[in-house]
Amino acid sequence: MLTIRNLCKTYPNGVRALTDVSLDIPNGMFGLLGPNGAGKSTLMRTIATLQEPDSGTIRLGELDVLADKMTTRSLLGYLPQEFGVYPKVSAEAMLDHFAVLKGITHRGERRELVAALLRQVNLYDARKRKLGGFSGGMRQRFGVAQALIGNPKLIIVDEPTAGLDPEERQRFLNLLAEIGERVVVILSTHIVEDVSELCPRMAIIAEGRVRLSGEPRETIRALEGRVWRRIIDKGALHEYQERFTVLSTRLSGGATLIHVLADSLPEAGFERIAPDLEDVYFGQLHQAATARAA
Q: Which is nearer to ligand ADP, 44 or 91 (CB)?
A: 44
34 binds ligand ADP (CB under 6 A): yes
Span from 23-31, 36-44, 135-143, 177-185 in contact with ligand ADP (CB under 6 A): 36-44
- The only residue of 1, 6, 15, 101 in contact with ligand ADP, by rule CB under 6 A: 15
Interface with ligand ADP, residue 206, by CB under 6 A = no
- Phi first, then psi: what are they for 167, rounded to 5°? -70, -45
Taking the C-alpha atoms of residue 236 and residue 234, their distance in angstroms, rounded to an integer, is 5
Name the minimum Å distance from CB 38 to ligand ADP.
4
Q: 40 or 169, CB closer to ligand ADP?
A: 40
- Please select the residue that binds ligand ADP; options are 37, 56, 136, 214, rule is CB under 6 A: 37
| C-beta of residue 18 within 8 angstroms of C-beta of residue 166 | no
- The stretch among 19-27, 31-39, 88-96, 176-184 that binds ligand ADP (CB under 6 A) is 31-39
Q: Return the number of the residue (17 or 47) whose C-beta is nearest ligand ADP.
A: 17
Contact with ligand ADP (CB under 6 A): which of 4, 17, 79, 117?
A: 17
Binding segment toward ligand ADP, per CB under 6 A, in 39-47, 165-173, 220-228, 236-244: 39-47
Residues 122-181 that bind ligand ADP (CB under 6 A): none
40 makes contact with ligand ADP (CB under 6 A): yes
The single residue among 31, 41, 77, 216 that binds ligand ADP, judged by CB under 6 A, is: 41
Q: Which is nearer to ligand ADP, 268 or 293 (CB)?
A: 293
Pattern of binders to ligand ADP over 42-61, x per CB under 6 A?
Answer: x-------------------
User: Does residue 82 belong to the site contacting ligand ADP (CB under 6 A)?
Assistant: no
13 or 105: CB nearest ligand ADP: 13
Cβ-in-10-Å burial (0-12, 13-18, 19+) of 203 comes to buried
Size of the site for ligand ADP (CB under 6 A): 12
Q: How many CA atoms lie within 13 A of 3 on its CB side?
A: 8
* Binding residues for ligand ADP (CB under 6 A): 11, 13, 15, 17, 34, 36-42
